[in-house]
Structure 1
Amino acid sequence: MRGFMTDFDPVPVVRNMKEHFRLYSLGSVPKEVNWVNTAMKDFNTLHAQDETFFDEVNITVQEEPNSAGEPEILGLLASIGIEKGKPFAPDARMQKILAEAAAVGTTTMRTILFRNRAEDVVIGPGSKSWEVGFAGGSYEFEHDGVALINSRARFHFYATGITPAMVKPPVGAGSQYVIGLRDAEGKALDGSKTYRIHIPPNVPAKRFWDITVYDNQTRSLLQTDNPYPGVTSIDKSIGPWGYACL
């Protein structure tokens, strides 16, 4: 759930959320939400990238009913010792296998995201810098009954949630995402270097445009002295013409 600020003032957004947002189980009586102020606090929301990742998967399997998962996935997990109601205690042999699997999986995911070669990922012919944030054309990551595995993996390695409005947003609503992973020459962005990006005037965005800088290790906001590591057309310093050179 997101709320958009006006003039960087979060108070109206927070007030609106508290007055109207409710979260409860289907069929139960709505309850007041326990709101926790997390402003200016750091949270680690990253999954492990070594063999302890499978410990996290096991926790989820133990906490959730089997009906929350797919039989095929639950079967694969059971084959490596992760099964609801049973202890997950891999021996030395299995620990070695899981460690290698985690290393290969992490490397594969980073390659799919940062060096993807699929044609539907490129934002335009000949582009060396920009890619579409969402590839595949289906928020369910399916096409003609075929699962778009790489598109799904790519998206969820750097993002959290998905909605139909991200795929084909109605006119005047929804959101569109573009990712810049390389410079104009196609070289990977380097945190030790300085880059310039030019935003032309009259960007065709009804509400706003926004450029946010992320850390490629955490896929989270770059941690700097600025709580908002980026620039947006909402910022009055951009000017009414909507032009920016960063």
Structure 2
Amino acid sequence: MTYLRDAMLTGDETIETPFGVLRLEHSFPTEESSALLFDQLDAQRAAQAYLWSLPLVGFVTWRERAAETFGATGFGDFVVYDSLREKRGIVTANLTTPYIINFTSLADGPVLIDYPAGPTAGGVLDFWQRPIVDLGQTGPDQGNGGGYVVLGPDHDDAPFKDSGRYVVRSETVNVFIAFRVLTQNPQLMAAAKAGLKLGRAGSDPAPVRFIEGVDREWSATPARGLQYWQDLATVLQEEPVREVDKALMAMLEPLGIASGSTFAPDERQRRILQEGAALGELLVRNLQVNPRYTAPYWAGTNWYKSFDFQVDQETDTALQLDQRATWFYEAVTSTQGMVNPTPGTGQVYMTSKRDSQGRLVRADRTYRLHIPRDVPVAQFWSLTLYSEDTRRPYDNGGTETRSVSLDSRDQQLTFNDDGSIDLYIGPTTPTGTEGNWMKTVAPDGWFVYFRLYAPTEPFFDKTWTLPDFEAL
């Protein structure tokens, strides 16, 4: 018997592999070995297809669950996610401002958007979660409001060239439209909602329907097991196959997933798809914890920029599969403003999963995060706690937003005399620090996003640094 790495692959040979013993007779795999090789081929392909498909499944999961939970099924239905329970369903949701979100199909024609003026951050994304256009302060309207036309993959742009609207095109049939009002002023929120209109080409945009106050627990975390592939098969029937995705589509065909085909896997395919989904999630979780394609943002720390790749998800020579999988496993959406901010505009998302000793953080241990004074933001900063299991806002039994998200506008926070602040995460906290604490519950592991809204120059030139968590 030889090990796989030493195999001669000729004549009669018995080869030991991590997935079983293979036998060659006169250089051909035996019937039993052939079955093992096909299983291994398809399991590897399923695991890689899991990583590839995460952004697509993330959006179709959100769309379907929002329809079930909030009744958002009509054109122009925008769900307002405001309460903790509403936001706790969204993967790595920001808890400091309400989300206003819509999923729209372009199958029935281009969509017209009348977008309101004001301090907002938003965008239109395709179903690979790539920004088609930013809306608001980081978009072409620059916060002044304006009209947009969103074309589908095959729509003619000629009728809109002199429309006075910003004309953009999606490579997918389904699109995501969303924005946030970056202020706690209720009058500005009301004005933004009143100014938002949506319509189809050939008619004037009309006021949209806002779905508010549902306040229910729900989940947009992609399913595990066979349901993951069912969701992928569903959305693949709606979308064109891009040139860049043809190789992965070929890998999925032997597993029963193909454009124009009903997903009805046999017993073997079901087994391999379930194994592939589990292995794929383990692979991407390892990348999430150990992002080998990048380095910490501040030297000597364990803080990474969460979104650390191109917004179109590819370079001149490669599709950024690992980078994309990492982000869309633990998060949703992307805009130019959150990926390529400039001093005084946009947002930055920083994350850490290790303490000052380089150890992975634990839910049964308490940590202190010392935030130096003069955080470089023109607006505000926030620290939000997430579950490693669900990647959604951490469920520690709290009913208030500040139980899992603390920010610089919070009047209940206690700052140090020099303007710095110490925040605590763990099952308990030192006496007198309860107002600066977010609770963890073992064994639900956790991670954080430290968000900087409108980061200023000291962030970009790194003259301001955020230290690591310190275990107490």
Fold match (TM-score > 0.5): yes
CA distance in 2, matches of 1:146, 1:71: 12
1:216 paired to 2:394: no
SS in 1 for 2:206: coil
Q: Which residue of 1 aligns with 2:264?
A: 89
> Aligned pair in 2 of structure 1 residues 16, 42: CA closer, same or farther (>3 Å)?
farther
SS in 2 for 1:236: coil
Q: Which residue of 1 aligns with 2:180?
A: 2
- Residue 147 of structure 1 is aligned with which of 309, 312, 319? 319
CA distance in 1, matches of 2:292, 2:346: 27
CA distance in 2, matches of 1:121, 1:50: 32
Unaligned runs of 5+ in 2: 1-178, 424-472
| Preserved contact between residue 256 and residue 269 of structure 2 (Cα < 8 Å) | no
- Residue 21 of structure 1 is aligned with which of 171, 181, 196? 196
Q: Which residue of 1 aligns with 2:400?
A: 226
Post-superposition CA distance 1:75-102 (Å, at most 9, x none): 4444432234432111111111111111
The amino acid across from 1:80 in the alignment is L
CA distance in 2, matches of 1:235, 1:80: 51
Query: Which of 1 and 2 has higher RCO (CA within 8 Å, sep 6+)?
Result: 2
- Residue 45 of structure 1 is aligned with which of 200, 220, 230? 220
The amino acid across from 1:226 in the alignment is E
> Aligned pair in 2 of structure 1 residues 69, 132: CA closer, same or farther (>3 Å)?
same
The amino acid across from 1:2 in the alignment is R
| Preserved contact between residue 297 and residue 303 of structure 2 (Cα < 8 Å) | yes
SS in 1 for 2:347: coil
Q: Which residue of 1 aligns with 2:332?
A: 160
The amino acid across from 1:215 in the alignment is S
SS in 1 for 2:271: helix
Q: Which residue of 2 aligns with 1:187?
A: 359
Post-superposition CA distance 1:3-43 (Å, at most 9, x none): 2233xx6x345413421223445565323212111564222
Q: CA deviation at 1:74?
A: 4.3
- Residue 124 of structure 1 is aligned with which of 298, 302, 327? 298
Q: Which residue of 1 aligns with 2:205?
A: 30
SS in 1 for 2:406: strand
CA distance in 2, matches of 1:74, 1:32: 39
CA distance in 2, matches of 1:86, 1:46: 26
TM-score (norm 1): 0.85
| Preserved contact between residue 4 and residue 13 of structure 1 (Cα < 8 Å) | no
Q: CA deviation at 1:185?
A: 1.2
Q: Which residue of 1 aligns with 2:64?
A: none
The amino acid across from 2:292 in the alignment is R
| Preserved contact between residue 203 and residue 242 of structure 1 (Cα < 8 Å) | no
CA distance in 2, matches of 1:45, 1:168: 26
| Preserved contact between residue 202 and residue 241 of structure 1 (Cα < 8 Å) | no
| Preserved contact between residue 121 and residue 135 of structure 1 (Cα < 8 Å) | no
Higher strand content, 1 or 2: 2
Post-superposition CA distance 1:158-215 (Å, at most 9, x none): 1111112223212210011110211111111212222111111111111011111111
CA distance in 1, matches of 2:245, 2:200: 24
CA distance in 2, matches of 1:143, 1:70: 12
- Would you say how many aligned residue pairs link Structure 1 and Structure 2? 239
The amino acid across from 1:187 in the alignment is R
> Aligned pair in 2 of structure 1 residues 27, 213: CA closer, same or farther (>3 Å)?
farther
Post-superposition CA distance 1:90-137 (Å, at most 9, x none): 11111111111111101011111112233x24122232x32211213x
> Aligned pair in 2 of structure 1 residues 66, 78: CA closer, same or farther (>3 Å)?
farther
| Preserved contact between residue 221 and residue 390 of structure 2 (Cα < 8 Å) | yes
Percent of matched pairs sharing the same residue: 26
The amino acid across from 1:115 in the alignment is N
SS in 2 for 1:101: helix
The amino acid across from 1:132 in the alignment is K
The amino acid across from 1:208 in the alignment is F
- Residue 109 of structure 1 is aligned with which of 284, 288, 299? 284
SS in 1 for 2:304: strand
The amino acid across from 2:378 in the alignment is K
TM-score (norm 2): 0.47
1:135 paired to 2:308: yes
Q: Which residue of 1 aligns with 2:373?
A: 201
CA distance in 1, matches of 2:194, 2:265: 48
